[in-house]
A and B are shown apart, each in its own frame.
Chain A
Amino acid sequence: MIHDMIAIIDEYWLLLLIGQYPNGPLGGLANTLILSALSIVIAFPFAILLAFARLSSYRALRWPVTVLVYVTRGVPLLMLVLWSYFLVPLLTGADVPSFLTMLATLVVYQGAFLSEIIRAGIVALGQGQMDAARALGHSWFGAMRYVILPQALYNMIPSMLSTFVATIKDTTLGYVINVPDLTFAASQVNNQLLTQPFQVFLILALTYYVICWSLTALTNVVERRITRRRAGLGPRRRGEIALPLTPKVTEQL
């Protein structure tokens, strides 16, 4: 069993890592990571705007975003993937690669989730920060830019990291529309071998496990640091006992 798995990795590691890259589109693990990183980077500013809209006092801004958030929370990602697969080529009028379709889906989906995280971060800071900043002469945007967001976003770093982990896991759904990611590469390997599906999919599962586990571990470290800094303590000295922590936020929904 282990020998089979080592033999598979030995033969197909390049395909699993970068897909058919020089001779075809980039794929494999590299594509999975690029897709998730890009979607978080694009979703982030979008999510801040959505959070502002949800906190706004104008109904015309608040309601559509609330609907969007509830739709993304209530509809399976698979359904959204199918929607973009159908709508993105229709709207752009071009033959869009499945990578971009998946990217668009993830931006909307994770944007909605991130906006909830950011909104919670802003609300958790309390109204006093905004009032004080306004009293000091900041405009609403100035207060947001210089007072609220720097604090809220800093406190939200752990939740954002766990959103990134969730995004990596969500990219697997690209399989349904043939995005050439890690899952796709593994099923290609499986189609070539045909005889060892368990070994191939176990390698796939373990690869995801290693990546997501290390990112989750990083999240926990960062979270502990931030909790300490918020409590007004410096970096932990050697031999000092760790602070008891509040319940972790290592995953979304």
Chain B
Amino acid sequence: MKGFDLAAILGNAEYMAMLAHGIQITFVIAICSWLLAMSLALVLLAIRFSPGRIGNSAVAAYVSYHRNVPTLVQLMLWYFGIYTLLPSGIADWLSAHSAEMVFAIIGLGLCQAAYFSEDLRSGLRSISPGQMEAARALGHGYISAMRYVLIPQGVRNALPALVNHSVSLFKNSSLAIVIGAPELSHAVKEIENLSFRTFEIYLIGTVLYLVFSLIIMAAGAWLTWRADPLNGASR
């Protein structure tokens, strides 16, 4: 066992390049799947709030599946399972364009969409029906009442949960190691294999994850504070 020496990692240009690449991939996965999750969540929410039994139960089934199956298993099903079912043209194109990242983004995004849509839904549901009635009585149309009265309040109520789930999305990007995406924890493992300085590199990886998560949490807390009308939100 060698003595504790952070400089052996931090001073090594090759290791630092690997770490930087890992961080970059982690952010690509996290940001792309966040965008996918949020846009899909809005679609799911629209279906949930529109009349029609079939759409409603389809969304409920979607949410139930993604909340009750471990994210890791979902990723494995995508990468080891669905990937092999694709027509060979698409599969070849994917394997030439880092398929593991594509599937990490799809898997994490679809999974998190279920959580986001539930957050938004419970945020909107927590507003009393009187708000809609009052807005309509004041002459707003349905869309305009949604846009100016219900959605601002609903999103504000949903913000803490959305922030928490964004942090878990960021943390879950580490699961992509299982399907071989070269993200941060993958880089940490590789540097460990090359340098044998397990303690140092794990410490660096942990601190990096912690710092990024805390930044997201702080940004979320600031957003939540800003969104409160008492603190000078725009509307």
Contacts and interface: CB of A to CB of B under 8 A. Distances in A.
A91 to B, nearest CB: 12
B65 to A, nearest CB: 6
A77 B171 contact: yes
11 contacts: A71-B210, A75-B206, A76-B174, A78-B174, A78-B185, A183-B70, A183-B76, A198-B82, A198-B84, A216-B67, A253-B168
Interface stretch (A14-22, A57-65, A169-177, A225-233): A169-177
Most chain A CB inside 10 Å of its own CB: which residue of B165, B167, B210, B217? B210
Contact of B174 (A79, A197, A216, A248): A79
Q: What are the 3 tightest A-B residue pairs by CB atom distance, in nearest-first order?
A: A74-B213, A198-B81, A212-B68
A202 B171 contact: no
Interface residues of A, number: 40
B72 interface: yes
A165 B64 CA distance: 13
A131 interface: no
A132 to B, nearest CB: 31
Given A78-B185, A79-B174, A86-B198, A209 B65 contact: yes
A125 interface: no
Contacts of A77: 171
B217 A74 contact: yes
A75 B210 contact: yes
B62 interface: no
A13 interface: no
A198 B77 contact: yes
Interface of B: 64-65, 67-74, 76-77, 80-82, 84-85, 115, 122, 125-126, 164-165, 167-168, 171-175, 177-178, 185, 188-189, 198-199, 202, 205-206, 209-210, 213-214, 217
A170 to B, nearest CB: 8
B74 A205 contact: yes
Contacts of A175: 72, 178
B206 A83 contact: yes
A213 interface: yes
Contact of A169 (B71, B76, B164, B173): B71
Given A79-B205, A175-B178, A208-B73, A197 B189 contact: no
Nearest to A253: B164
A83 B68 contact: no
Contacts of A247: 122, 125-126
Nearest to B85: A198
Given A71-B210, A176-B178, A213-B64, A204 B171 contact: no
Contact of B68 (A73, A172, A200, A213): A213
A154 interface: no
B51 to A, nearest CB: 21
Contacts of B115: 251
A82 interface: yes
B77 A73 contact: no
Contact of A201 (B77, B175, B177): B77
A75 B204 CA distance: 12
B213 A209 contact: no
A168 B70 CA distance: 8
A200 B77 CA distance: 9
Given A74-B171, A78-B175, A86-B202, 9 more contacts: A187-B76, A197-B84, A198-B77, A200-B81, A201-B77, A201-B80, A202-B81, A208-B70, A247-B125
A75 B171 contact: yes
The residue in A74, A197, A208 that gathers the most chain B C-beta atoms within 10 A of its C-beta is A74
A76 B171 contact: yes
